[in-house]
């Protein structure tokens, strides 16, 4: 599995995500993904499946030390008096004494950013996580978070797919040494009806999902999260490192971006997103 290096962290370029995945599917799919060669598993407190993820990894036969494990602290736990306790609860559920990456899940102004970043650093200093980062941050918010953090941030996990131009954010992150971790790679299923992606997939003898994931990981400093409850599709998603897209194909997929391409924009959580 290829890896991305970001501010001292080596992150497997392809991760297995568990967003909206029920425990019964987690218990089946995480071991299957690990058997297929995935070594990066992503969860979050708000997904309510950390315990299943921990059980699945523990029973997978793959050493915990060989799995890059990410979880995210939910906004209700950002206050300093709740933060560490919530991380300890996550670690207990995950059956580990540390995660590899701990993220602030969404921006939230009810707790000062300095306190959020301070608590994130405290978790790292206590050995509860090896690396820290954020999720769903804009360019400006990311700059503020970096300025407040004693330890380097290694990633910003954001929505990224062919219909959403993230070039400005990605450029700012590259300058700061961060990796962009892409979620919603399939644009909530929209990619599967795209004629251009279908044409490129047919040309390579691949699936549309493989083309999109390859497009993501072929970009410097981009990590892609994939998700499926099908073992055959997980096997397909893992098989993206034995081919490449040419420059024209990469550009054509980038050109699919549209002004209102964002899929996930929850009210009350979304910041004022960066313009394309």
Please tell me which residue in 47, 163, 183, 184 is annotated as part of the active site.
Answer: 47
Question: Confidence class of residue 275 from pLDDT cuts 50, 70 and 90?
Answer: confident
Alpha-carbon span 101 to 155, nearest angstrom: 9
Rounded average pLDDT over 112-133: 98
Rounded to whole angstroms, what are the CA distances from 103 to 34, 116, 206, 246, 263? Answer: 22, 11, 33, 34, 21
**What are the tens digits of pLDDT across the range 234-267?**
999 999 999 999 999 999 999 999 999 999 999 9
Rounded average pLDDT over 89-105: 98
Domains and CATH numbers, the chain: 10-254 (3.20.20.100)
Per the annotation, binding residues for substrate are: 105
274 backbone φψ class: left, alpha, beta (φ>0; ψ -120 to 50): beta
**pLDDT score at 63:** 98
Question: Confidence class of residue 129 from pLDDT cuts 50, 70 and 90?
Answer: very high
Query: What is the overall mean pLDDT for the chain?
Result: 97
- Ramachandran angles phi, psi of 69, nearest 5°: -110, 125
Per the annotation, binding residues are: 105
Q: Is the pTM of this model over 0.75?
A: yes
Alpha-carbon span 26 to 54, nearest angstrom: 10
Question: Confidence class of residue 103 from pLDDT cuts 50, 70 and 90?
Answer: very high
Active site annotation includes 137: no
Assess whether pLDDT exceeds 90 at residue 117. yes
Assess whether pLDDT exceeds 90 at residue 214. yes
Rounded average pLDDT over 134-157: 98
Assess whether pLDDT exceeds 90 at residue 276. no
Question: Confidence class of residue 175 from pLDDT cuts 50, 70 and 90?
Answer: very high
């Amino acid at each position: 599995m290829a890896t991305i290096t970001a501010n001292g962290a080596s992150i497997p370029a392809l991760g297995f995500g568990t967003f909206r995945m029920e425990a019964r599917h987690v218990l089946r799919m995480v071991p299957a993904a690990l058997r297929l060669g995935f070594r990066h598993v992503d969860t979050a407190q708000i997904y309510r499946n950390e315990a299943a993820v921990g059980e699945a990894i523990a029973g997978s036969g793959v050493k915990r030390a060989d799995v890059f494990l990410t979880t995210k602290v939910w906004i209700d736990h950002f206050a300093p008096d709740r933060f560490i306790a919530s991380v300890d609860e996550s670690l207990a559920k995950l059956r580990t004494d540390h995660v590899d990456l701990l993220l602030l899940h969404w921006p939230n102004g009810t707790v000062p950013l300095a306190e959020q970043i301070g608590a994130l650093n405290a978790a790292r200093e206590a050995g509860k996580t090896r690396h820290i980062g954020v999720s769903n941050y804009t360019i400006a918010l990311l700059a503020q978070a970096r300025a407040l953090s004693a330890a380097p941030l290694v990633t910003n996990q954001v929505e990224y797919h062919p219909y959403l131009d993230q070039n400005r954010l990605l450029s700012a992150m590259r300058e700061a040494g961060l990796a962009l971790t892409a979620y919603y790679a399939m644009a909530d299923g929209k990619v599967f009806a795209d004629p251009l992606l279908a044409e490129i997939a047919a040309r390579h003898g691949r699936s549309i999902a493989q083309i999109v994931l390859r497009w993501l990981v072929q970009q410097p400093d981009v990590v892609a999260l994939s998700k499926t409850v099908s073992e055959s599709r997980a096997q397909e998603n893992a098989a993206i490192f034995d081919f490449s897209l040419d420059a024209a194909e990469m550009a054509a997929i980038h050109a699919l971006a549209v002004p209102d391409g964002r899929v996930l924009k929850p009210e009350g959580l979304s910041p004022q997103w960066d313009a394309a």
